[in-house]
Every structure is written in structure tokens, then in C-alpha cells.
A and B are shown apart, each in its own frame.
Chain A
Amino acid sequence: GENVEQHPSTLSVQEGDSAVIKCTYSDSASNYFPWYKQELGKRPQLIIDIRSNVGEKKDQRIAVTLNKTAKHFSLHITETQPEDSAVYFCAASPTGSARQLTFGSGTQLTVLP
């Protein structure tokens, strides 16, 4: 089955700096890679996703890159703000299991004012 590894487990940055979170996956059949943000006591919320037919996707301060050859994808947050502080999860979903996500272990991002 799919295995997703996520690094780092914790990340502290100064407000205004950039944050990068990296994930690797094992199943070459995986073709959908969402990122979720989970604030303390709240539900996971999708912040951006990418499908395997593109290498990069951007939405304002958030971008995701995908390297299918190396089987890794990354989340980039620029101009971080204190409200970006949360746990971020990457996930992968293989073909044929459209709604079965395998999650990484999460990254606790803290943005220091």
C-alpha cells in the first residue's frame, strides 16, 4: 500500500519568512496530492491540491510542487502570518481509490510574530 513520509515534524519561522514542508510517497500509481491545514480543535481543511498531470500549482501565498520521478511533493508558504500557525498534512491518493487518502504524519508550523 501507499506510504507517505512528511518532514519536518515541527517548523518555526518568523512572520514574513517562507515555510517549506516536504513529503515523499511510495506508490507510483498515486496521482492526487492534497494538503490540509488543521488548527487546534478544528477539522482538517483543504488548502491546495495537485494532480499528477501538473508540476506546480499556486494560490496566492501558497504553492505546491510535484516531482513524479522522485515521488515527492512540497508545500511552500510565502510571507507567513501568525494565522498560518497550524498542523499541515500532506496526503496521497492512488488511482482506483479516489477517496482513500494516505496522510503524512503532519507538520506543526509556528509563525512567530
Chain B
Amino acid sequence: KAGVTQTPRYLIKTRGQQVTLSCSPISGHRSVSWYQQTPGQGLQFLFEYFSETQRNKGNFPGRFSGRQFSNSRSEMNVSTLELGDSALYLCASSPGRGQLQETQYFGPGTRLLVL
């Protein structure tokens, strides 16, 4: 199976702009989680989507939002970009079956630079 894919891989934006990142999970996976990775804060959970519904949300401002489509592909949006939003944004997919903890498989990430 193809792995998790993310587009675009690199992005440069200026403060105040908005950005949309895309994630395609492994075929058959129904859950997509998003994480922000920075040198200072490490890997932090943003939110998780399952069956087009946000199931969990991390401690990020409302400028960060997301959605999931019926084919399980997910997008995240950041509005009114700030310099501190510069980071590697990773998505991870998992099967979304049952109650047991499931392995999350990460995509290559989108590196966002805000100038």
C-alpha cells in the first residue's frame, strides 16, 4: 500500500495570510491526526478526524482548523499566520477500527515558513 502523503511539501507564506495543507491517508485508514513539530515545542497534537468528524483537539488557538472528506483525505487550515506558526506539520493515519490503541503512520510532513 502507498504510505501517507502530504501536499505541498514546502510552503512559504507571509504573516496574516492563510494556508491549507492536505493529507491523504493510507488506503483503508479512516483516522487522520495532525501534529505540529517545532524545535522549541517538539511534537504537539493538533486534532484528529474520524469519519469526517473531529474527535479530539489539542491546545491550539481557533486559527487552526481542519476537516475530513468522505474519502478520508484531510485538510488543515491556518488563518492569520504568525511567525510562530513556522513548523513542520505532520499528519498520521491509522485504521480507525476498534477501541484498542492503533499504530499511527506518519506522512513526510509539510514544512511551512512564515515570513
* A interface with B by C-beta (< 8 Å): 1, 31-32, 34, 36, 42-46, 49, 51, 89, 91, 93, 97-106
CB of B27 to closest CB in A, whole Å: 17
Interface residues of B (CB under 8 A from A): 4, 31, 33, 35, 42-45, 48, 50, 55-56, 58-59, 90, 92, 94, 96, 99-109
Which B residues are in CB contact (< 8 Å) with A46?
103-105
**B104 lies within 8 A of A101 (CB):** yes
**6 shortest A-B CB distances, which residue pairs?**
A32-B101, A103-B43, A43-B106, A100-B56, A44-B106, A99-B48
**Known: A99-B31, A102-B45. Contact between A43 and B90, CB under 8 A?**
yes
B75 to chain A, nearest CB (A): 17
B109 contacts which of A36, A43, A105 (Cβ < 8 Å)?
A: A43
Q: Chain B's nearest CB lies how many Å from the CB of A82?
A: 23
Q: Other CB < 8 Å A-B pairs besides A43-B109, A102-B45, 11 of them?
A: A42-B108, A43-B108, A44-B90, A49-B101, A49-B103, A51-B100, A51-B101, A97-B48, A99-B50, A101-B43, A103-B44
